[in-house]
Amino acid sequence: MSFPFSLICAEKPDQSKKLAAPFPHQNKGDHIAIGQCEMFPQGAIVISARGHILEVCEPEEYDSNLRKWSIEPLPFIPEKFKLRISSSTKSYFNAFKKFLNDDEIKLVIHAGDAGREGQLLIDEILYYLNNKKPVKRLWLKSLTKPSVIKALNEMEDNKKYEPMYLEAVARQRADFMIGINATRVLTVLLQQKGINKTFSAGRVQTALMGIIYNREMDIENFKSMPFWDCYADFKFEDYTIRGKWFKEDGEHIFKHESAQALVKFCEGSTVKVYSALKEEKNTRPPQLYHLSTLQSEANRLYGLSPENVLNYAQGLYDKSIISYPRTDSQYLTPEEANWMPTILNNLSKLKEYKDLVPGATGDISNDKRYVDSNKVTDHYGIILTEEETDPTTLQEGERLIFDMIAKSIIAAHYPDYLFNSTEIIISVQNRFTFKVKGKQVKFEGWRSVYNGLPEEQLDEQGQFDEIQLPDVSEGEEGHITSIELKEGATSPPSRFTQGDLVKVMSNPGRYCGEKEDYKNSELSLGTPATRANIISTVTKRYVNVESNLIYLQPEGRILIEALGNGSYLTSVLSTGNMERYLSQIGKGKGSYKTFIERTKQITHNVVDDLKENSTTWQFDNYIHDIQEADKIGSCLLCGDTVIDVGPVYGCQSYKTTNCEFKLYKTISGKAISRTNAVKLLETGTTALIKGFMKKDKTSTYDAYIVWDSNKKTTRFEYVNNRRDKR
């Protein structure tokens, strides 16, 4: 297939290079020129955006009176939404404008990311510039040369994707209406109560905060109860085994007197084997990753934040190493399954995997656990591409993600893990029962792929303890040789990790409340593409992350308590239903107009409810907590207190003595945690921070932030420099 002189519009500079790679091309500064070739007989031009180069205008850009935050004009809902050109990406916009107005260009090829945000990112530029040229949609699932050629040959008219564009616009405008108004009214009303902070609220982030708040309350209000577990050693003719008391409704005894009575009754007693069940069981290899499982697993294994995992995965995609990462499917179509022999062969050439690939003898092409076209919509599961890769050239975070994906592919081709499971029930004079459980590995199967990991990382349920039990016959008699009680206490619900939050957002149905019949429904907060950013936003504003555990901060308490019970913004069900309706718009089954009108009404309700609720707010007890929580440490310039001030950690003396010490909370696209800010003030250096974005935004780097006592400022210290000094 061939095309006229075309303008190919990519989402990022790195992707534009990949789109030009299959053809003769030359970099021309603001564009890449593709030379004459079979597919483009007259050549083509490749340009790129740099993320969103158009932004939704702020309220004060509609009406200068809105520059000052006040209650009276709220809610503010524009009659017509306006976009502006981002000052940092004006040169990219100018390139679009120049080439879209070029009469020689006969066809525009939309090559934004294959999802609703990618659809919006390019479409909004085309609409803004009133493009009249025909537009084809390039739907890419991989950036390898064969995939680019294949996708170009399969392009469809961009009009087919208009519902997806409308879905993205609806999302953008709903977030603006709800977010701008809720944030302003909350902030102003709380300032009237003496809390001088900005309280951001949003359609998805606030629902997530509601879940975090409820978990924090469950932990705080938890009343621990003591219990006793009873263990006994049973002597039979040829062996001794140890079992634990249980009954159908539990295995703990909550009254000490009852536990003591049990021990007294059982001491020295005769026993009989009530049942002995020995089964051979198997565990299938894990499924392939989609973005949410990749994020949660990488967080559990390596402590990586969801945002970092997405950045590393995006970097691998941009390098043509993995398939499109923002997917919610763990399945392949038969076409991708046919690539597996090549991918495995490539892995066999790498020292890290050469000893593992020979065991990958299975064929997944007919295995519905991995290959099912009915469960693949826009994108298939995350796999490696057919291109050879040298992992040693990747930065550490990218190597970890590459390794996880590589091993998931290898393990999928391995046999099942096989083990014998034994459960023995012992009866004490037909009154009490004890259970003995054992497990014997017969064949490691796919588990051998992960032998380099600790066992608790292989199986978070802790099922890998191997206890081999003797062969036992039902009715066999013995006696108790010893019995003991072990005291314990019930534990509060566990704290969320960042990885847990990904799972919560992927499947929040069980947090809807018992009155709602949505336990097993398809309900979600955000999308795979947006969840990492939402979690990052929440961790910057309302929670602390310590040792990967989520702790609610006073600001988070105030946010949720100010909104009150029954708020639309904290309702998982309401937010999930909104996300579901957005999805219907994208499929052409929902009405954009209906959604926007409903959102306008929701915005009015949220503002009215906050105004009414504020008359009963009592947050005096939180003001001291916030002031104390804001304190970070001693200023490295003047010795006064450094506090948390919006976007920075800054010296509180800046108003009185003009002390200029500040540490921005986000540097080169990377959030600087409170923990690292404290460490810098105490020791002069942060811990190693991974994932700073380079200026060209095509890759990341790792560095320490250190205090330069000579220049009286902070600076980066790179890993190699730190290593050299040591």
pLDDT digits (tens, 9 = 90+) for 30-50: 999 999 999 999 999 999 998
Q: Which of 20-24, 70-74, 645-649 has the weakest average pLDDT? A: 645-649
Average pLDDT over residues 362-379: 92
All residues at 6 or more sequence positions from 143 whose CB lies less than 8 Å from its CB, including other chains: 15, 18, 19, 317, 318, 320, 385
For the chain, the helix, strand and coil percentages under 3-state DSSP, each to the nearest 5: 40, 20, 40
The tens digit of pLDDT for each residue in 286-319 reads 999 999 999 999 999 999 999 999 999 999 999 9
> Among 433-437, 600-604, 647-651, which is the least confidently predicted range?
647-651
* CATH number of the domain that residue 233 is part of: 2.70.20.10
At residue 243, the pLDDT reads: 96
Statement: residue 460 has pLDDT above 90: no
Residue that terminates a domain, selected from 406, 431, 450? 406
Calpha distance 499→292 (Å, rounded): 9
| CATH number of domain containing 510 | 1.10.460.10
Which one is predicted more confidently, 578 or 695?
Answer: 578
Q: Which residues pair with 706 in a beta bridge?
A: 685, 715
User: What pLDDT score was predicted for residue 669?
Assistant: 80
Determine the Cα–Cα distance for residues 163 and 543; give it in Å rounded to an integer: 36
Mean predicted confidence (pLDDT) in 452-477: 66
320 found inside a domain? yes
Per-residue HEC secondary structure of 576-635 comes to HHHHHHHHHHHCCCCCHHHHHHHHHHHHHHHHHHHHHHHHHCCCHHHHHHHHHHHEEEEC
pLDDT at 471: 87
Number of structural domains in the chain: 5
Q: Which of 208-222, 455-469, 502-516 has the lowest mean pLDDT?
A: 455-469
Beta bridge partners of 716: 705
d(CA 540, CA 544): 8
Q: Please report the pLDDT score of residue 701 as a whole number.
A: 86
- 293 domain residue, yes or no: no
Determine, yes or no, domain membership for 557.
yes
* Full domain range(s) for residue 392: 312-406
Please tell me whether residues 24 and 128 are part of one structural domain. yes
Structural domain includes residue 162: no
* Residue whose tokens read 């297939």: 1
Same domain, 29 and 86: yes
Q: Is 142 found in the same domain as 34?
A: yes
Q: Quick one: 648 and 509 in the same domain?
A: no
Residue 216 exposed, middle or buried by CB count within 10 Å (0-12, 13-18, 19+): buried
Confidence band for 637, pLDDT divided at 50, 70 and 90: very high
Asked, for residue 478, whether it belongs to a domain, the answer is: yes
> What ranges make up the beta strands (E) of 394-453?
417-428, 432-443
**Strand 107-111 and strand 135-137: pairing?**
parallel
Q: List the single range of 209-223, 417-431, 465-479 with lowest mean pLDDT.
A: 465-479
Which of 379, 406, 433 terminates a domain? The answer is 406
pLDDT at 621 over 90: no
Mean pLDDT of the chain: 92
Mean pLDDT of 642-648: 86
DSSP 531-589: HHHHHHHHHHHTEEEETTEEEE-HHHHHHHHHH-TT-TTT-HHHHHHHHHHHHHHHTT-
39 located within any domain: yes
pLDDT digits 0-9 by tens, 199-242: 999 999 999 999 999 999 999 999 999 999 999 999 999 899 99
Mean pLDDT score, 268-297: 96
Judge whether 296 lies within some domain: no
- pLDDT band at residue 627, thresholds of 50, 70 and 90? confident
Domain for residue 391, yes or no? yes
**Residue 185 — pLDDT band, cuts 50, 70, 90?**
very high
What is the per-residue pLDDT across 650-665, written as a single tens digit (0 to 9) for each? 999 988 899 999 999 9
What is the domain-level CATH number for residue 43? 3.40.50.140
C-alpha to C-alpha distance for 10 and 18, rounded to whole angstroms:
10
Cβ-Cβ contacts under 8 Å for 401 (sequence gap 6 or more): 294, 298, 309, 312, 313, 316, 322
525 has pLDDT over 80: yes
Q: Are residues 64 and 41 in the same domain?
A: yes
pLDDT tens-digit readout, 679-689: 999 999 999 99
Q: What strands lie across the sheet with 107-111, from one edge to the other?
A: 25-27, 32-34, 44-48, 6-10, 107-111, 135-137, 156-157
Residue 452: pLDDT over 70: no
pLDDT-based confidence at 641, cuts 50/70/90?
very high
CA 334 to CA 338: how far, in whole Å?
A: 6
Over 60: is that where the pLDDT of 464 sits? no
pLDDT > 90 fraction of the chain, expressed in percent and rounded: 79
CB of 496 closer than 8 Å to CB of 538: no
534 shares a domain with 442 = no
Looking at the structure, do residues 426 and 280 belong to the same domain, yes or no?
yes
Cis peptide before 75 (omega within 30 of 0): yes
The reply to whether 54 and 138 lie within a common domain is yes
Does residue 463 carry a pLDDT above 50?
Answer: no
**Given this model, what pLDDT does residue 566 score?**
84
pLDDT at 457: 47
Kind plus residue range of the DSSP H or E element containing 174: helix 162-191
**b/e map of 252-273 (b: 16 or more CB within 10 Å)?**
bbeeeeebeebbeebeeeebeb
Is residue 1 predicted with pLDDT exceeding 90? no
Q: Output the pTM of the full model.
A: 0.86
| Residue 352 belongs to domain with CATH number | 1.10.290.10
Same domain, 647 and 716: yes
Tell me how far CA of residue 552 lies from CA of 79, 111, 189, 420, 623, in angstroms.
38, 41, 22, 44, 15
Last residue of a domain, one of 434, 456, 489: 489
Model confidence at 466, in pLDDT bands (50, 70, 90)? low
Write out the two tokens for 484. 């003991």
Q: What is the pLDDT of residues 244-270, one digit of tens each?
A: 999 999 999 999 999 999 999 999 999
Based on the domain organization, do 396 and 422 belong to the same domain?
no
Asked whether residue 520 carries a pLDDT value surpassing 50, the answer given is no
pLDDT of residue 659: 94
User: Same domain, yes or no, for 112 and 146?
Assistant: yes
Q: Are 78 and 211 contained in the same domain?
A: no
Residue 467 has pLDDT above 90, yes or no: no
Which residues lie closer than 8 Å to 282 by C-beta, 6 or more apart? 416, 417, 418, 419
